[in-house]
Amino acid sequence: MHDGTFINYFSPDTKAAFVGIGSELRGDDAVGVVIVKRLAELAKSVECPRFLFINGGSAPENVLGEIRAFQPEIIVFIDAAILGCEPGTVRLIDTSREKISGVSFCTHSLPLTIIADYIRQTVPCEILVIGIEPGDMGFRPDCVLTAPVAQAAETVINNIAAYIPQIRNRTA
């Protein structure tokens, strides 16, 4: 990731919601959804009450009620993002320090900047965005990521799992 870790933001005691965003029919645009589904599967058989994994799909505004009810300290949106880099490049954006308006997020109905601004008004929390440069966003109903984006997804999964003791050793 941009700095390699969540070390400045995240500890095992942090109450965090992870929201995967993207269309599962648009190739690499599904990367956020793929990551959150995998983390939810890893966490399924262990108790992780401080962590919420949500598939926001292509309409993340539809899960804002669930996020508000959970009252996280940190929300991490994970999405394909046009960063102007090589496919598979991962960038961690702290929205309190850096504007996300210069980053183009791919296929959702409301811009992530509007969603983040709304959340800030209703939930006192930090908002991070993990943006992953897509390679191919053409129609693909198989939800298969290109090789560099799949590799980036594994890196993100492992980085997040490293901060969740209950699933840290389940990522193998």
CATH topology assigned to domain 16-170: Rossmann fold (3.40.50)
Beta bridge partners of 132: 80, 90
Beta bridge partners of 149: none
* pLDDT tens per residue across span 111-139: 666 677 777 778 888 888 899 999 887 77
What is the phi-psi region of residue 15: left when phi exceeds 0, alpha when psi lies from -120 to 50, beta otherwise?
beta
pLDDT for 78 equals 94
* pLDDT tens per residue across span 78-121: 998 888 889 999 988 876 655 554 444 555 555 666 677 777 77
* pLDDT tens per residue across span 135-162: 887 777 777 899 999 999 999 998 888 8
Question: 126: how many CB neighbours lie within 10 A of its CB?
Answer: 18
Query: Domain ranges in the chain?
Result: 16-170
Residue 89 gets which letter from DSSP?
-
pLDDT for 166 equals 63
